[in-house]
Amino acid sequence: MVNRNPVIAVIGAGIAGLEAARQLADLGYSPVLIEKEPAVGGHVAQWNRLFPDMTPAAEVIDALKKQTAKIRTLLGTEIASINRLKDGFSLVLTDGTSLLCQAVLFATGFQLFNAAKKEEYGYGIYDRVITNRDLEAWFNTRKDMRIKQPEAVGFVHCVGSRDLKAGNTQCSKVCCITAIKQAIEIKEEFPDAEVYCFYMDLRLFGKKYEDFYIKAQRDYGIHFIRGRVSEVGEAIDGRVVVKAEDTLNGKPVKVTLDLLVLMAGIVCNPDAQHYARQVGVSVDDDGFLKSRDNIAAITESSRPGVFFAGACTGAKTIPETLAEARSAALNIHHYFNKRK
Amino acid sequence: MIYQGKQKIWADYQKEIPDNHWFYVRSCIRQNFFPASEKYFLAICRDQLGRDIYESEHHTTCAGIAYHCDTIPQETAMTVVARQFALMTEAGYENLVTSCITSFGNYTEILETWRQFPELEEKVREHLWKACRREFKKPKYVAHASDLMYKLRGEIAERAHFQLVHRATGEPLRIVEHIGCHYSKMFPHKGVGGAEYPCVLSGMAESWGGRVIDYPERRHCCGFGFRQYFVKANRGYSLSNTHKKFESMEPYRPDAIITNCPGCPYFLDRWQYVISEMEGKTYGQNGYGIPVLTYEELAGLVLGVDPWNLGLQVHQVAVEPLLDKIGIPYDPARKYLGMDEKKIMTPGLPTSLKCF
């Protein structure tokens, strides 16, 4: 492969950044991965298993790490400023160095919604209220004193997503299937536990998702209750008392649970917005970065030389993110070819 | 329970409460239920703590009850409220403090409605002028009287004669706080501590030595709900609400309940008698009920006011067990003496609920 030399700054070394960098390197470019965390892998590296085949997340990350081992990667490094030059960009990094590049790829990912903002659910107030991320951490480490032979566990879907009052109207896309996955995993760990999923509606669009949902009901006996949780309180023994509406039965429900898991939604990464403003890239109404065209050019920004991959433009599944990373790499390749 | 989590939320919902110069509007019903609460609000704030609080004998109901019962349209309630504002303006005040929670909600809702629909405000100004030739300035600040007492809680603690501590054990008393629905459920940012974990009452209780209980049905309505209580056929709903709360708080063995609404203390107090008559069940210790106090009554006790001067003898649930726990002296012989030491009627005793 010919080294075409252009340097491409890839901001973020989650799965989108890693996959795009791999593709760019294969195409003969010199990507530089800039990651603010001390390790690559982003959110997926913190996950335990992935739906719908229960693939270990580590497998996906290890493969990407192996494939990008030779790519220059700056860990624990943030970008102090980005300046647009005549033929590229100058990035000043927090380690005091600067990086000149000919294109910038935003692979800045997302943030999980801060579940404490939904005060009625009591995250950060009641011990036994945790988030989807906390539960994945437990699947990885088995270290959380709050999770000990639970007899009843609840999952609240759409925490901070599809929620006008929370300021996030968009669907986080992966929470429904993640809740089902985690509910099944809880049942596998604690077969005698009663598991409840409180949902608005289930958006199971992906390959095998619907089968996964049927399996959760048929094989694991997980209870799906269509209705919003209105409030959470704490019982004298530390368990949580959950009040919700069952809209299919037309009745209020109240259950006492050993553990309540909040499916915190996906929101934009504020770092991405900060960097986008510096290079003159627009931010969309939902806070995510704005593509040049939401149908035909999702990985392109309105500015030449600036590209997007993954959840920086909106919530995405892992396969979608990987596919988009490849697409972004190819777009960058065409961009340089046209400039020859 | 992660106490720091609550503190973080409380920090997000602190509101500005001016320190002085208030125009005070009383409640329609509180003087019947708790005859000395408003009197002692004024006595504490004015006489003990030196604040300027003005009240006019010309003010009326805010019409909040009629509005919430759907017996008058909101424009009528707005015009009544506009007249209160006119009285405040004429007296030279800019801060309005309400005794009643529904009034506080009503004033807040009306000001917010006018903010969103200025043409309505204009219409109401016209109505008021036609009706009584009055004009008004909108208050710069509307607070509930419990907001003001929350602000002054530290000064009250400095002057305290008694602490909310069990005299025999040295342990803080276990206090249930109950916020009126119209305090912050409609406008969370207008209430100290917000709607989910309000701290207006818990702040007072803790400042005066107590420990607040968070129980599962803490947020649940007391049962007063206008449409539940005022329609006789619906009173079962009212009672079942209260019953649900008591069943939920019972395991925590509360020593007292503190409230900031006209209806809540009344219903939480009186329905304990009804539950005891219906089910033979009582929720306090040794067959007594759980005393239910207004925040003014609690402040009065802390400051050493005679319990009978505070009107605690008109409560259904006997307050003597609470007074004994704290060590507040009282003269049983004076309990039913009214003005000029004349004996008022002594009530009959309930079947199950133990009373003095």
Check which CATH number belongs to the domain holding B35 and give it.
1.20.1050.140
Domain boundary among B93, B114, B145: B145
| A127, A233, A236 ranked by CB distance to B218: nearest | A233
Query: Given CB atoms, is A241 within the 8 Å cutoff of chain B?
Result: yes
Q: How far is B254 from chain A (nearest CA, A)?
A: 13
Q: What is the pLDDT of residue B7?
A: 84
Are B215 and A119 in contact (CB < 8 Å)?
no
Size of chain A in residues = 340
Residue A183 Cα distances to A45, A138, A285, B57, B266, angstroms = 20, 14, 33, 63, 45
| B2, B8, B214 ranked by CB distance to A127: nearest | B2
Q: Where are the domains of chain A?
A: 7-109+269-339, 113-266
Name the pLDDT band for A4 (thresholds 50, 70, 90): low
Are B1 and A234 in contact (CB < 8 Å)?
yes
Task: For residue B272, report the phi and psi dihedrals to the nearest 5 degrees.
Answer: -65, -35
Domain boundary among B145, B173, B189: B145
Q: How far is B220 from chain A (nearest CA, A)?
A: 10
Q: How far is B255 from chain A (nearest CA, A)?
A: 16
Are A233 and B9 in contact (CB < 8 Å)?
no
pLDDT tens, residue order, chain B (356 aa): 888 888 888 888 888 899 999 999 999 999 989 999 999 999 999 999 999 999 999 999 999 999 988 899 999 999 999 999 999 999 999 999 999 999 999 999 999 999 999 999 999 999 999 999 999 999 999 999 999 999 999 999 999 999 999 999 999 999 999 999 999 999 999 999 999 999 999 999 999 999 999 999 999 999 888 878 888 898 899 999 999 999 999 999 999 999 999 999 999 999 999 999 999 999 999 999 999 999 999 999 999 999 999 999 999 999 999 999 999 999 999 999 988 888 988 899 999 999 98
| B1, B217, B251 ranked by CB distance to A125: nearest | B1
Q: In terms of CA atoms, which chain B residue is nearest residue A119?
A: B196
Q: Is the CB of residue A32 less than 8 Å from the CB of residue A99?
A: yes
Q: In terms of CA atoms, which chain A residue is nearest residue B217?
A: A233
Q: In terms of CA atoms, which chain A residue is nearest residue B250?
A: A236
Q: What is the C-alpha to C-alpha distance for residues A297 and A279, in angstroms, rounded to an integer?
A: 18
Q: Is the CB of residue A166 less than 8 Å from the CB of residue A118?
A: yes
- Say how many C-beta atoms besides its own lie within 10 A of residue B339's C-beta: 6
Query: Given CB atoms, is A121 within the 8 Å cutoff of chain B?
Result: no
Mean pLDDT of A297-306: 95
B168 lies in the same domain as B139: no
A197-253 pLDDT, tens per residue? Answer: 999 999 999 999 999 999 999 999 999 999 999 999 999 999 999 999 999 999 999
Question: Global pTM?
Answer: 0.91
B132 lies in the same domain as B166: no
- In a domain, residue B151? The reply is no
- In a domain, residue B285? The reply is yes
Domain that holds residue B129: 16-145
Q: What is the C-alpha to C-alpha distance for residues B282 and A300, in angstroms, rounded to an integer?
A: 70
Are A127 and B216 in contact (CB < 8 Å)?
no
Residues of B in contact with A125 (CB under 8 A): 1-2, 5-6, 9, 197
Q: In terms of CA atoms, which chain A residue is nearest residue B213?
A: A236
Residues of A in contact with B196 (CB under 8 A): 119-120, 231
Residue A340 pLDDT > 80: no
Residues of B in contact with A119 (CB under 8 A): 9, 194-197
Per-residue 3-state assignment (H helix, E strand, C coil) for chain A: CCCCCCEEEEECCCHHHHHHHHHHHHCCCEEEEECCCCCCCCCHHHCCEECCCCEEHHHHHHHHHHHCCCCEEECCCCEEEEEECCCCEEEEECCCCEEEECEEEECCCEEECCHHHCHHHCCCCCCCEEEHHHHHHHHHHCCCCCCCCCCEEEEEEEECCCECCCCECCCCCCHHHHHHHHHHHHHHHCCCCEEEEEECCCCCCCCCHHHHHHHHHHCCCCEEEECCEEEEEECCCCCEEEEEEECCCCEEEEEEECEEEEEECEEECHHHHHHHHHHCCCECCCCCECCCECCCECCECCCCCEEECHHHCCCCCHHHHHHHHHHHHHHHHHHHHHHC
| B2, B214, B217 ranked by CB distance to A124: nearest | B2
Size of chain B in residues = 356
Domain boundary among B98, B115, B145: B145
Q: What is the pLDDT of residue B223?
A: 87
Q: How far is A124 from chain B (nearest CA, A)?
A: 5
Are A119 and B9 in contact (CB < 8 Å)?
yes
| B8, B219, B252 ranked by CB distance to A231: nearest | B219
| A124, A231, A235 ranked by CB distance to B5: nearest | A124
B/e letters for A36-68, b = 16+ CB within 10 Å, e = fewer, are beeebbbbbbebbbbbbeeeebbebbeebbebb
Residue B123: what residue type?
K
Q: Please list, in sequence order, all residues whose beta carbon lies within 8 angstroms of the beta carbon of residue A310, skipping any fewer than 6 positions away.
A: A12, A14, A15, A16, A17, A107, A109, A316, A321, A324, A325
B65 lies in the same domain as B209: no
CATH node for A113-266: 3.50.50.60
Q: Is the CB of residue A50 less than 8 Å from the CB of residue A25?
A: no
B227 lies in the same domain as B140: no
Mean pLDDT of A119-137: 96
| A124, A127, A235 ranked by CB distance to B216: nearest | A235
Are A126 and B215 in contact (CB < 8 Å)?
no
B138 lies in the same domain as B169: no
Are A127 and B252 in contact (CB < 8 Å)?
no
Q: What is the mean pLDDT of chain A?
A: 94
| A120, A124, A234 ranked by CB distance to B216: nearest | A234
B172 lies in the same domain as B98: no
Strand partners, A333: none
Q: In terms of CA atoms, which chain B residue is nearest residue A242?
A: B216
Query: Given CB atoms, is A151 within the 8 Å cutoff of chain B?
Result: no
| B1, B196, B217 ranked by CB distance to A119: nearest | B196
Q: What is the pLDDT of residue A3?
A: 43
Are B214 and A116 in contact (CB < 8 Å)?
no
- For the packed helices B263-279 and B235-249, what is the interaxial angle rounded to 10 degrees? 90
Q: What is the C-alpha to C-alpha distance for residues A190 and B156, in angstroms, rounded to an integer?
A: 53
Q: What is the C-alpha to C-alpha distance for residues B45 and B38, in angstroms, rounded to an integer?
A: 11
Q: How far is A185 from chain B (nearest CA, A)?
A: 27
Q: Is A70 exposed, middle or buried (0-12, 13-18, 19+ CB in 10 A)?
A: exposed
- Mutate which of A119, A128, A232 to test chain B, going by most B C-beta atoms within 10 A? A119
Q: What is the C-alpha to C-alpha distance for residues A97 and A103, in angstroms, rounded to an integer?
A: 18
| A126, A231, A236 ranked by CB distance to B251: nearest | A236
Residues of A in contact with B8 (CB under 8 A): 116, 124
CATH, residue B195? 3.40.50.11810
B97 lies in the same domain as B180: no
- In a domain, residue B185? The reply is yes
Q: What is the pLDDT of residue A1?
A: 42
Q: Please list, in sequence order, all residues whose beta carbon lies within 8 angstroms of the beta carbon of residue B19, skipping any fewer than 6 positions away.
A: B51, B151
Q: What is the C-alpha to C-alpha distance for residues A157 and A200, in angstroms, rounded to an integer?
A: 7
Instruction: Give the residue among B218, B216, B305 at the shortest CA–CA distance from B257.
Output: B218
Query: Given CB atoms, is A114 within the 8 Å cutoff of chain B?
Result: no
Pick the CATH number of A7-109+269-339 from 3.40.50.20, 3.40.50.970, 3.40.50.720, 3.50.50.60: 3.50.50.60
B206 lies in the same domain as B313: yes
Mean pLDDT of A317-332: 97
B265 lies in the same domain as B131: no
What is the number of alpha carbons within 13 Å of residue B247 lying toward its C-beta? 9
Query: Given CB atoms, is A124 within the 8 Å cutoff of chain B?
Result: yes
B63 lies in the same domain as B99: yes
Residue A156 pLDDT > 80: yes
Q: Please list, in sequence order, all residues whose beta carbon lies within 8 angstroms of the beta carbon of residue A134, skipping any fewer than 6 positions away.
A: A144, A261
- In a domain, residue B63? The reply is yes
Q: In terms of CA atoms, which chain A residue is nearest residue B220?
A: A231
Number of domains comprising chain B: 2
B266 lies in the same domain as B325: yes
Question: Is-same-fold flag (A7-109+269-339; A113-266)?
Answer: yes
Residues of B in contact with A126 (CB under 8 A): 1-2
Q: What is the pLDDT of residue B3?
A: 84
B239 lies in the same domain as B293: yes
Rg of chain B taking only CA atoms, in angstroms: 20
Strand partners, A241: A233, A256
- In a domain, residue B9? The reply is no
Residue A266 pLDDT > 80: yes
Q: What is the C-alpha to C-alpha distance for residues A223 and A196, in angstroms, rounded to an integer?
A: 5
Q: What is the C-alpha to C-alpha distance for residues B158 and A29, in angstroms, rounded to an integer?
A: 73
ipTM of the complex: 0.86
Dump strand ranges (E) for chain B. Answer: 22-25, 53-55, 95-98, 141-144, 174-178, 211-213, 256-259, 292-294
Q: What is the C-alpha to C-alpha distance for residues A263 and A269, in angstroms, rounded to an integer?
A: 18
- In a domain, residue B346? The reply is no
- In a domain, residue B309? The reply is yes
Q: Is the CB of residue A290 less than 8 Å from the CB of residue A284?
A: yes
Are A124 and B196 in contact (CB < 8 Å)?
no
Q: What DSSP character marks residue B168?
A: T
Task: For residue B121, report the phi and psi dihedrals to the nearest 5 degrees.
Answer: -60, -45
Mean pLDDT of A150-177: 94
Percent of chain A with pLDDT over 90: 91
- In a domain, residue B157? The reply is no
